[in-house]
């Protein structure tokens, strides 16, 4: 599974997506919008993106934190129960 995450500086949800990846023990590549890619390039590449983080899995856009959590729970990569 190839996971790419686009984040922005100071984004609380972006911090949570990193926690989710660690919890699921999945490798990922992250790009900081404004540093690794500029906002114009990001919007041209992903015009459907409405916020951050923005997650791409195996070349398919997933969306943000909520959509990624739902997908991971459905696939059994994480549980919805707290330890």
pLDDT value of residue 81: 67
| Fold exhibited by the domain 3-74 | Glutaredoxin (3.40.30)
Q: What is the pTM of this model?
A: 0.90
Spatial distance between the Cα atoms of 44 and 65, rounded to a whole number of angstroms: 21
Spatial distance between the Cα atoms of 36 and 45, rounded to a whole number of angstroms: 14
pLDDT value of residue 80: 72
**For the chain, percent of residues with pLDDT exceeding 70:** 96
Q: What's the residue count for the chain? A: 83
Min mean pLDDT across 51-55, 60-64, 74-78 is at: 74-78
| Chain segment 25-57, per-residue pLDDT in tens | 999 999 999 999 999 999 999 999 999 999 999
């Amino acid at each position: 599974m190839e996971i790419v995450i686009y984040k922005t500086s100071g984004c609380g949800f972006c911090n949570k997506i990193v926690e989710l990846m660690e919890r699921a023990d999945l490798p990922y590549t992250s790009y900081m919008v404004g540093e690794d890619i500029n906002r114009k390039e990001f919007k041209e590449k992903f015009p459907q993106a409405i916020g951050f983080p923005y997650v791409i899995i195996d070349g398919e856009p997933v969306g943000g934190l909520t959509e990624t959590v739902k997908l991971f729970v459905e696939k059994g990569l994480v549980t919805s129960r707290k330890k």
